[in-house]
Amino acid sequence: MLKKISVCSLVGLTLAQGCAQLDNAGHAAQNLSSQQQPRNIIMVVADGMGPAYTTAYRNFADNPETPDIEDVVFDHMLTGNASTHPAPVSGYVTDSAAAATALATGIKSYNGAIGVDANKLPVESVLQRAKQLGLRTGVAVTSQINHATPASYLAHNESRKNYNAIADSFFDDRINDGFVADVMLGGGTSYFARDDRDLTALFADNGYQYVDDYDQLATLPAGTDVLGLFAPVGLPAALDDSNPHRLSFLTKNAIKHLEDPEGFFFLVEASQVDWAGHANDIGSAMAEMDDLAVTMEYLQNYVETHPDTLVVLTADHSTGGLTIGADGIYEWHPEYLRNMKASVSSIAVNMVSEASPAAYAEVQLGFTFEDDDSALVDSIAALPDFEARETALKAFLDKKTNTGWTTGGHTGVDVEVFAFGAGADAFAGQLDNTDIAKQFFRFLNNR
């Protein structure tokens, strides 16, 4: 395990190193005088969201009553693409940890790295730099808050799997005699309220409000330091959560607590686009994309009233090899996904206790079964193993929609970059994922 190093001890070294790296940033090395300087920076990572996901979402959101396929929110903010490869030691296909480290620090690293370089040495993130400069900082994610992406902005560890140690570092590491993040919202009580150490109590003893349900969060006065953990690990899937737009809810509430005359740096992660891709679950993928779309619509409105705010959205990589159309058939049918009331996983769990599993699944999936569908779904319900039922139901939906997948893992394709607000022009064209962090550092150092 990586030896713990105080964030404070890194600042002087990384400030000097970071400036040298930025001077040689290639495409991202632009003259700041030609860019509008943001006061607030909001980084949105849609984990696993390759280009096929945004295209699929446009078709999913389309109004079939009109002849045109309507634009969606992503269409109005696209600025370019980014390469995603990790450090050479890990080849061409990144995991979430190496990609998040690149996005957070501007440094390529190996798969599994959390805020460390290829030699396992800690590197400063843009969030940590913002905190050092006196901005308020926060994260809002639908995974556990010590998962790979948020951890890479907040911590340093040689392995993303060291969840307890990463959670400990959120409390133990300090910048300017304060914690790294002022607002932390997502899942993860299993890692923060442990038998060996109750981090929730420690944060509460040090001025944070600890909340564990959405209603509590909504009642906190603006400007509060908050630790909000709403599930043992990740949040429920969007299709199963009490609030299907929980990411936009967390985002709105986090900003309420981050706003400050000095500005803020805020990481938002649509974590479970990736989880749906790993599971090859097209229903959940579109629900997670819808949650992200609502979040981006809110952020667009926020920037209209706060024009000194920059918002950048990208993916860390693509997951699942999603294809819109499969088996040589030139069709895709998102109408089978638009009225789902529960995730395939939830349906697979609950259908076995129903007197008529097919009738139950028909209601939950939200479309009328055809002649052979009921018998097929009843036979799926008879499978004794949950995973077998879940896999069969996903295959049923893939057949209905004509959705294809190439893998249960990641792919190495470039991902889209979206930006709007102050300084958004700096993110146009073909980028590398490290260029995003380098430009953020540039903005922060120009304050």
Q: What residues are labeled active site? A: 96
> Which residue do the tokens 């619509």 mark?
297
Residue type for position 196: D
Sign of CA pseudo-dihedral 15, 19, 25, 28: positive
Take residue 259 and report the two structure tokens written for it.
């706003």
d(CA 247, CA 235) in angstroms, rounded, equals 10
d(CA 77, CA 92) in angstroms, rounded, equals 27
d(CA 194, CA 43) in angstroms, rounded, equals 30
d(CA 55, CA 257) in angstroms, rounded, equals 34
Residue positions counted in the chain: 447
